[in-house]
Structure 1
């Protein structure tokens, strides 16, 4: 992409607060964006070939949405944790195995998309994100849901297409969790805590494509209570 075209995009972004440049084969985060660290509210650089985010990414003081889907990132820099206004972070289809240690400092974060990365565990840092609504961890290599999950504030957790065979009973204590997606994992029926059905807020449990037939869910204690929540939610949105 030519310098003049990039310059035009940056001039537009200066006025609109939005910088979007997708599918342009970019190999690095455009350096000229440093001039706009105080203006930009939205940055979308999805479907490029970016491998590294520069430390100055942490200086975008008013940034609300950052999308870097389908790039070549192996990690996120620690400096990204300084983005106090960030509400949406989309980094699906990269090679990220871990989140920065201080990721929990992204206090405004509401939507986190990490689908299609290299995560082997649910990041513990999610437990300190008080405003998190939706977290998508699908298509990773996660094998278990640990006890710490009870601290996650999300309304929806998507864990489809992982390798999960164990679930902590603590998941039923997630205070706001309404939607739990566990399709296409390695779950046996006996590994599904019955408290999810009988003793949680969860009103949509998606477990198709595991190691048991869906109709066997009906045999579990608490299934009727779960169906009451499921039906009530459906009526609300009908």
Structure 2
């Protein structure tokens, strides 16, 4: 991309607070963006070839949304964790194996998408995010869900297409979890905590494509309870759509 084209994008971003430059083959984060660090609310650099995020990421003090889908990131800088206003972070389709130790300092984060990376565990840092609503960890290499998950505040957790064969019973303690997606994993029915059905807030449980037949799940005690909760939730949203 030429300097004149980048300059035009920067001028537009200065007026709108939005910088979007996708699918342009960028190999580096544009350093000139730091001139707008106090202006930008949204940055979208998806579908490029960016391998490294520079420390200057921490300067975007009012940034609310950051999208870096389908790049070549293998790690995130600790400075990213200084973005106290960040609400939405999309990092799908990269090569991330872990999150920065200070990731839990992203106190305003509501939506986190990490689908299609190289994560092998559910990052414990997520349990420090008190306003987190939606977490997408699908298409990674996660093999188990640990006890620490009980502190997760998310409403929806997507773990589809991993390698999960074990789930801590403490997942049923998640205070706000309503939607749990576990499709296409390595779960045997005996490894699915029955407390998810009987003693949790979960109203939508998606488990197709595991090592058991769904009809066997329907025979478990508590399955009807989940179905009733699902019907109530659907009825609630139907009433909202009619109002």
TM-score range relative to shorter protein:
over 0.9
The corresponding residue for 1:57 is 57
- Report the Cα distance in structure 1 between the residues aligned to 2:165 and 2:104, rounded to whole angstroms: 27
State the alpha-carbon separation in 2 of the partners of residues 224 and 46 from structure 1. Answer: 42
Tell me how far apart the structure 2 counterparts of residues 115 and 218 of structure 1 sit (CA, whole Å).
29
Aligned to 2:36: 36
Report 1:67-146 matches (<5 A): 67-146=67-146
CA distance in 1, matches of 2:207, 2:144: 15
| 1:43 aligned counterpart, secondary structure | strand
1:194 aligns with 2:194: yes
Structure 1 segments unaligned to the other structure (5+ residues)? none
Residue 185 of structure 2: SS of its match in structure 1?
Answer: coil
> CA deviation digits over 1:176-210, x for unaligned, max 9?
00000000000011111110001100000000000
Distance 1:223 1:42 in 2: 42
Please give the alpha-carbon distance, in whole angstroms, between the structure 2 residues aligned to 1:91 and 1:131.
19
2:68, 2:31 → 1: CA distance?
16
Q: Distance in 2 between matches of 1:142 and 1:221?
A: 28
**Match for residue 168 of structure 1?**
168
- 3-state SS of paired residue (1:89): strand
219-228 or 129-138, which deviates more: 219-228
Question: Are positions 1:177 and 2:190 aligned together?
Answer: no
Provide the residue aligned with 2:241 in structure 1.
none
Of the structure 1 ranges 217-226 and 46-55, higher mean CA displacement relative to structure 2 is found in 217-226
Q: Distance in 1 between matches of 2:8 and 2:228?
A: 55
1:237 Cα offset (Å):
1.8
Structure 2 residue aligned with 1:3: 3
Q: Flag as ranges the 4+ runs of structure 1 deviating above 2 A.
A: none
2:216 aligns with: 216
SS for the counterpart of 1:99 is coil
1:40, distance to aligned residue in structure 2 (A): 0.3
Structure 2 unaligned segments of length 5 or more: list them.
Answer: 239-243
SS of the residue aligned with 1:161? Answer: coil
CA distance in 1 between counterparts of 2:71 and 2:223 reads 42
Distance 1:214 1:7 in 2: 56
Q: Write the distance in 2 (CA, Å) between the matches of 1:177 and 1:36.
A: 37
CA RMSD of aligned residues (A): 0.5
Per-residue displacement from partner, 1:140-197 (whole Å, max 9, x unpaired)? 0000000000000000000000000000000000000000000000001111111000
Distance 1:200 1:132 in 2: 18
Q: CA deviation at 1:234?
A: 1.5
1:91, CA displacement in angstroms? Answer: 0.4
